[in-house]
Amino acid sequence: MTSTTASSATRRATDAPRMGAGRAAGRKRSSTILVTAILVVVALYFLVPVYWVLVASTKTTQDLFSTNGFLFSGHFALWDNLARVLSYDDGVFLQWFLNSVLYAGVGALLATYLAAAGGYALAKYEFRGRNAVFGTILGGVLVPGTATALPMFLLFSQMGLANTYWSVLIPSLVSPFGLFLCRIYAQATVDTALIEAARLDGAGELKIFHTIGLRVLTPALVTVFLFQLVGIWNNYFLPLVMLSDSRLYPITLGLNNWLSQVDRLPEFYELTTGGVLLSIIPLAIAMIVLQRFWRGGLTEGAVK
Amino acid sequence: MSSTPAAAPPATSQEDREIRTGRSRQAGTSRGNRSRAAARAPWILLAPFLALFTLTFVLPIIVALISSFTKVTRSGLFGEKGVSSGFAGFDNYAQALGDANFIASIGRVLLFGIVQVPVMIVLCTILALLLESASARWPGFFRAAYFMPYGVPGVIATILWSFLYVPGLSPFIDIAGSMGITLDFLGPDHVLWSIANIVTWSYTGYNMLIIVAQLKAIPGELYEAARVDGASPWRIARSIQLPLITPALVLTTVFSIIGTLQLFAEAQVLKTSAPAIDSQYTPNLSAYSTAFAYNDYNVAAAQAVLIALAAFILSFVFLRLTNRKSS
């Protein structure tokens, strides 16, 4: 958003003549120091746990308990620990990681496409029952995911779907909130005249959606995709209810499984800290890189 | 707390802007098969979503309602002489509401919500205002650092923090101990607030980002006009920024309320290291234990329905209160 940088520059510029130039600069410097100091302290709060796990995963189990948690110990055991994380139980950690990638990646991609198609249909066509359909889906936004998970398990057990990849993947394909966002965005941005022109050229309705609709909707689709990706990746209750075979676990369930064994076998501390570190790194990087897309999508949604 | 969908852009006048495609289409082309194709098209586009929505929302809700009104009676000591089910009326609900532990769990999350939600909302508002103020250095870095925990699943965040809570591992306890202070993060009096800290850590940055997005949407002219009038930064925050980000604040609060009632992963994971957390610590944990530890799906269904109802009612009341205040 270039307008904000411009306006803050003008804000600074209009500041100067109001007060004496020197006093203004002094005040600005002290308020900059104060604000930055607050921001640094808060940043420490958010980063300390991650720093701790980074340190902890370089230690042996013995050092973990005998040395200060914020300081590296003499013995650097990071590579040993990570090797054990990756090789334990025939590489089950890698399996969990790939499961998470499958659930979140495939789930979010298909969910975005389905939400786009539905949202576009509700925004750009006038048909009987449209408001009833939209109202029902909107109600779905407010239903807590944990409320539907238990009955869904009963339903899926009867259909023979419980404890399969499908039992986690199928619920991940539905994003009422994504459809809501796509509908608003399609109403505001997809030009009806463009659709009319394509119709006159003889394009079919589905082709119009796939060529014009999806292209215009792209910024909203990025937002929906990211919401759904993080939502599925972070989900715990649904896979916990659905899955009993540990080979199907996503990474969240798997790591909790390891943690629950530390009381009996302290070596699981090393596996858990190493596993937590490995699972955080890709996501932390993704959050930092993708942060501007979140902002972009949200702002456009709010402005338009 | 599992995933909460977040920032819905405020639904404003977009509803009115819509053009009635049906009518203009009829004016444009008179070919019957074409308009029939256009009449079918929205249903074809909607069909896959609606099919899956039915399977994962409508049917489970119906199943939950039906089984919450059903009583399963097993004849014989272990049900070996057959199982019969019949209409139970409100028996399951009476049983759920008569369970002192379940009621206590609702009271616990309400107390949690009354403290944690305002703290988090105030914190993320202050952070958003500071980051958007002209005085902030490296706003991009701080924004990323604050947002990062959102990418850490609740379970993993809890595992992380549990290491910082456990005596023997936690450097905080060591440091405080060397100064003669005993910290007990996992005791019965403190563990609820230790969970509140994990939730705050996870979601503050995310809510902050929603507010930042709304702040960036404020037109620059408003700021300039205020500057010309000689308004202080404090006055600008109070009179311009806060009123204009109210929709975002309402939204994040509602989603936080819903999230609080759903509290599950944090308590369930921390249970391993905190004996103070029992199997009915939060309403969802209670429903989960009823279903899978006691195999009483009918009472569990009643509990799930009650939790969803409570979320509805609380969100509704909050929306009503804020609407009345602003009008």
Residue of A nearest to B258 (CA): A144
Give me the residue from A18, A34, A70 closest to B171, CB to CB.
A70
Cβ separation A121–B45 shorter than 8 A: yes
B105 touches B280 (CB < 8 A): yes
Cβ separation B10–A302 shorter than 8 A: yes
Cβ separation B213–A295 shorter than 8 A: yes
The alpha carbon of residue B76 is apart from the nearest alpha carbon of chain A, in Å, by 24
pTM recorded for the entire structure: 0.81
Cβ separation B17–A187 shorter than 8 A: yes
Residues of chain A with Cβ-Cβ distance to B138 below 8 Å are: 36
The alpha carbon of residue B271 is apart from the nearest alpha carbon of chain A, in Å, by 9
β-partners of residue B86 are: B71
The alpha carbon of residue B169 is apart from the nearest alpha carbon of chain A, in Å, by 6
C-alpha distances in angstroms, B296 versus A64, A144, A238, B95, B286? Answer: 42, 21, 18, 11, 11
Confidence (pLDDT) at A5? 44
Structure-block tokens of residue A195? 């659709």
Among A24-28, B269-273, B285-289, name the most confident range: B285-289
Residues of chain A with Cβ-Cβ distance to B289 below 8 Å are: none
The per-residue pLDDT string of chain A (304 residues; one tens digit each, 9 = 90 and over) reads 344 444 444 444 444 444 455 666 666 778 888 888 999 999 999 999 988 888 888 888 777 777 777 778 777 888 888 888 888 888 899 999 999 999 999 999 999 999 999 999 999 998 888 999 998 998 888 787 778 888 899 899 999 999 999 999 999 999 998 998 899 889 888 888 888 888 888 888 889 999 889 998 988 898 889 889 988 988 899 999 999 999 999 999 999 988 888 878 777 888 888 888 888 887 777 777 776 666 544 444 443 3
- ipTM value, please give it: 0.82
User: Is residue A168 within a helix (H) or strand (E), and if so which, with residue range?
Assistant: helix A165-172
Q: Chain A to chain B, count of Cβ pairs less than 8 Å apart?
A: 358
Residues 60 to 89 of B: which have CB under 8 A from any A CB? Answer: 60-61, 63-64, 67
Any B CB within 8 A of A220 CB = no
Any A CB within 8 A of B317 CB = no
Any B CB within 8 A of A174 CB = yes
Q: Distance (Å, rounded) from C-alpha A247 to C-alpha A281? A: 22
Q: Distance (Å, rounded) from C-alpha B137 to C-alpha A37? A: 10
A83 touches A270 (CB < 8 A): no
Give me the residue from A8, A143, A234 closest to B3, CB to CB.
A234
Any B CB within 8 A of A141 CB = yes
Nearest to A283 by CA among A247, A240, A250: A250
Residues in CB range of B158: below 8 A, 6 or more apart: B198, B265, B266, B269, B270
Domains with residue ranges and CATH for chain B: 99-326 (1.10.3720.10)
Cβ separation A195–B21 shorter than 8 A: yes
Give me the residue from A56, A120, A298 closest to B7, CB to CB.
A298
What confidence tens digit (pLDDT) does each residue in B47-100 have?
Answer: 999 999 999 999 999 999 998 998 887 766 666 667 778 887 888 899 889 999
A256 touches A176 (CB < 8 A): no
Cβ separation A301–B63 shorter than 8 A: no
Residue of B nearest to A112 (CA): B49
A172 touches A291 (CB < 8 A): no
Residues of chain B with Cβ-Cβ distance to A57 below 8 Å are: none
